[in-house]
Structure 1
Amino acid sequence: AIAGNARGPFPPPAFADVPEGSLRIGVLTETDVSADPARLGVVEDAAKALEARGHRLRPVGWAEIETPARASASAFADIAAANLAETTSRFGLDLEMVEPMTRAVIERGRAMRPEGVWSLINEMALIARDLWRLFEGIDCLICPMLTDQPKPVGSFPTDHDDWPLHFERMRAFAPLAALANLSGFPAITLPFGADGIGLPLPVQMIAPMGSEAVLLKLAAELEREARWQHRFAIAGACA
């Protein structure tokens, strides 16, 4: 629960009460990149569990979300570059002390022109607008979180300067993560099953701005299904 007045450029949040009754759940079980079928199938499993609890399902195709999803991935890379460039300039970081990938992203940010940064801010607003259109017909979107198992250390090497490749690798692994980050729409991820070696199969849910209560309600309902548990008791938690 979050309360209080924001003392900044944005209005204070006005969170709704926990919604009662049936909600409209959009179900996205595809992406534009290759994905492990189990990590798409778990989305459908979670959606059916919510349907059994009285919620209404509506299939969502990739075409309905492709424009804001692709735009958010591109904007995320530019925001990371601009932020790193500003931070390193403010603190006087020696670029010779950082790894090649970080240096390449910083140089990308320093090369951005003011009109490019202004366009980036406008792009973020357009991403939110396009996503709002989808949510005119649903209360929450349930979708894939990852396209494959968690990757071993070193799978995203930073010893090169091909920053477009680096960000594309991240997008291919978590194709909708940047969408929530860039749009300002709240999102939650939780496990709903296990793969063949016991690792959790996650689902991601995204709700409209200010609808954190919707996410917490639906996440609690999915957690009550107890589809995945830690193999070993976690200190301080119930076994």
Structure 2
Amino acid sequence: MPTDVDRELNRIGDTLNRVRSRTDVAVSGRNRQHREAEVVRRLGRIAVADGAILVGAIAFALIVSPLGIMGAMLVGLLLIAATIFFAALPASAPVNVEKLAEIPLKALPRSTERWLETQRPALPSPVRGLVDSIGVKLETLTPQLATLDENSPAAMEVRKLVGEQLPELLKGYGRVPEPLRRVERNGLTPDQQLAQGLQLIDDEIAEMTAQLAQGDLDALATRGRYLQIKYQGEEG
């Protein structure tokens, strides 16, 4: 017969499952949108390349001489080669994390999100949900930064958190040798420190988004919070 403890554990488990389900739905929709956008970009490049080949072939036939069978075959081969090449070519260049500080503010969340997606497989399973949650919040933050002055204190605070502290947190964790990531030091393991840092960043992005939505730029600019994460020593 289930005890009160069992019922409480089941209730907590159900709550966690509902939260996880909502995050999974948001992440699934975001990933689907990204895949669709990538397909559109690839198809656009293929259309431009094939169009240029056809225009060049028609111009050659009208100005120089008819293409003939061999010329038509060559054009066909060029069309096939261009289609295969641009279909296989990545839709967007990889994000250089060292260049995030130079990216325009309105493009910073999406670039950081793309970089996060490349880091996700190397992170421990328990924190991947946090990474997904941060990705969803970054996507929500993007349109709010479009009208924010690049040189305003609020913009600098956003850039510090998203473009500096978040990448530094993951790079710092990556520098910890694999065997030491689950070894406790000063009461916490590096895996636990990573989870705490990501949770803090997730909460901070949510608060920044709310403050931008309310137009409360002064509060955003004067938050003054900085991550204090320890990896085998102290790193600010």
Q: TM exceeds 0.5?
A: no
**Structure 1 length normalisation: TM-score?**
0.29
Structure showing greater radius of gyration is 2
- Structure with the bigger percentage of helix: 2
Larger relative contact order (Cα-Cα within 8 Å, sequence gap ≥ 6): 1
The structure with the greater share of residues assigned to strand is 1
TM-score calculated relative to the size of structure 2:
0.30
